[in-house]
Amino acid sequence: MLQQDPHGTLPVHLAIIMDGNGRWAQARGLSRSEGHRAGAATVRTIVTRCRELGIRYLTLYAFSSENWNRPRAEVTALFSLLLEFLQQEVPLLAEKGISLKVLGDLDGLPLAQRTALRHAIRRTAGGTAMTLNLALNYGSRAELVQAVRSIVREGLPAEAIDEATLAGHLYTAGQPDPDLLIRTSGEQRLSNYLLYQCAYSELYFTPVPWPDFGQEELDAALAVYAGRSRRFGKTQEQIDGS
């Protein structure tokens, strides 16, 4: 596996809210769908760079449960882009050892996308270099509700339920929490994304819209992250002394 992080300053898990495709397009007199197409090109660049750097988990917010409220044409365009992305990229993902996973309610997606995603998940399952999570039809509160439901269905006694039980029933079961969450395009909110998993994540907001977020922008965010001191509720003295 590629590993270019001898000092351990890279996030193991990077989560991204890819925002600003629409505004990027509008500023250029293009349709919102064309903005998403440019955004899909950025997905390729960022996946490639993360793989190159040795980031082990990359989670991209591709379609939230609330995105169904967008104009029909835009939703259709987003789903065709997803299909196109899978058709073009899955062989390369498999070759590069990148395993694709979906966070979200797969059953609520259109049949063609659901089928292509299931195929992509199977085809890339052996990849050990990196996990690429696509959050699709995803909402963090709904994720927590489905986790609680499945715990109740399993009949676990209340006293046996701890944080690990809950984490083990989320879509991210078995994965480390994101170390760094990046949101592009100026908004500074979480928008129902990985609320449980990001309890201790470092947050990085940039005004750069997602279609313009290239390798240099990513490297700049990672440099800021490398300079952060993560205390997880402890004092700096406790950390220095341990």
- Please pick, from the candidates 10, 13, 15, 21, the single residue that binds ligand FPP as defined by CB under 6 A: 21
Cβ-count burial 152-179 (b if 16+ within 10 Å, e if not): eeeeeeeeeeeeeeebebbbbeebebbb
Q: Is 133 a catalytic residue?
A: no
**3 vs 76, which CB is nearer to ligand FPP?**
76
Structure tokens given for 152: 């109740």
Task: Report if residue 138 touches ligand FPP, rule: CB under 6 A.
Answer: no
Alpha carbons 117 and 90: distance in angstroms, whole number:
10
Contact string 79-118 vs ligand FPP (x = CB under 6 A) = --xx--x---------------------------------
Strands (E), the chain: 13-17, 57-64, 98-103, 130-138, 180-183, 202-205
Structure tokens given for 72: 């029909």
Q: Is 105 a catalytic residue?
A: no
Which positions from 23 through 62 interact with ligand FPP, judged by CB under 6 A?
23, 32, 36, 39-40, 43, 62
Active-site residue, selected from the candidate residues 5, 67, 105, 177: 67
Residue nearest to ligand FPP (CB): 22
Catalytic residue numbers, as ranges: 19, 67
